[in-house]
Amino acid sequence: MTREEQLLKAMVEAVDTLVDDFDLIDFLHQLCDRCNTLLDVSAVGVMLADPTGKLQVIAASDEHTRLLELFGLQADQGPCVECHRNGATQLNVDLHSPARTAAFPLFAARARQAGFRTTHALPMRLRQQSVGALNLFDAREQRLGDSDARVAQALADVATIAILQQRTIVYGNIERAQLRAALSSRIVIEQAKGILAERWTTTVDAAFEALRRHARAHQMRLTDLCHQLIDGTLDTTAIQRP
């Protein structure tokens, strides 16, 4: 495929996040492979922020990169960490230059040991929301030109959109499940209120207040208490009448 075709394919793969069985990890590994091919770099790593904001390695083009990223995280330093923190792209970082690596000397030393000469870090960010960073490594003393930098950022942006879309779907499914559970619970509570009100010859409001008091006093979920009342396993004489 031509470069344009491969870029288009990457965009299409991002759209696939709309399907329920989308595999985000596989998508990010494919992204690493595409970066390797399109940008002619030696290795690629994707790091995403966990719920605490700490970066974690999610995908890498080879094990050397994974070990390197993990080392960078343990030392809390490196272009990728810096990029995520401030949202600024870091290109053509010469790992043999003390001036360029003064902020992360341990990372640079480990990178050189792994055989890398240059590294680049691109933010994975949409507006003010940062999800991680894309890290590129090259064993050669080769600059990433403006055109390649734009391609790299486009791929990082595609991955960002895919990740955020996937999170939206996951959270949406959770919210729908919570809504279904809430509606189901509401039905059970209404049934229990009606049963108790009829049994006591009182109002449904009074029955509901009695159920709430009993549930709190016995550290029970109100829904569980109502289920017991409906299926007949609850001795209603134990509930304090209003």
* Residue 65 to residue 43: CA distance in whole angstroms: 6
Asked whether the predicted pLDDT for residue 61 surpasses 90, the reply is no
In the chain, at which residue ranges do the beta strands (DSSP E only) sit? 43-49, 55-60, 90-94, 118-126, 129-138
Between 1 and 222, the more confident residue is 222
Structural domain spans, the chain: 3-172, 180-238
Structure tokens at 106: 């341990």
> What 3-state class would DSSP assign to 127?
coil
- Residue 89: what pLDDT? 94
Of 3.40.50.1820, 3.10.20.30, 3.30.450.40, 3.90.245.10, the CATH number of 3-172 is 3.30.450.40
The average pLDDT across 7-23 equals: 63
Angle at CA of residue 171, ends 183 and 8, nearest 5°: 140
pLDDT in tens, 144-182: 999 899 989 988 988 888 888 877 777 777 667 777 877
- Residue 15: what pLDDT? 60
Backbone CA torsion sign across 17, 152, 48, 85 = negative
The whole model's pTM is what?
A: 0.69
Cβ–Cβ < 8 Å for 37, 31:
no
Under CATH, which number does the domain 180-238 receive?
A: 1.10.10.10
Percentage of residues of the chain with pLDDT beyond 70: 90
> What 3-state class would DSSP assign to 16?
helix
- Residue 135: what pLDDT? 93
Count of beta carbons in the 10 Å neighbourhood of residue 3: 12
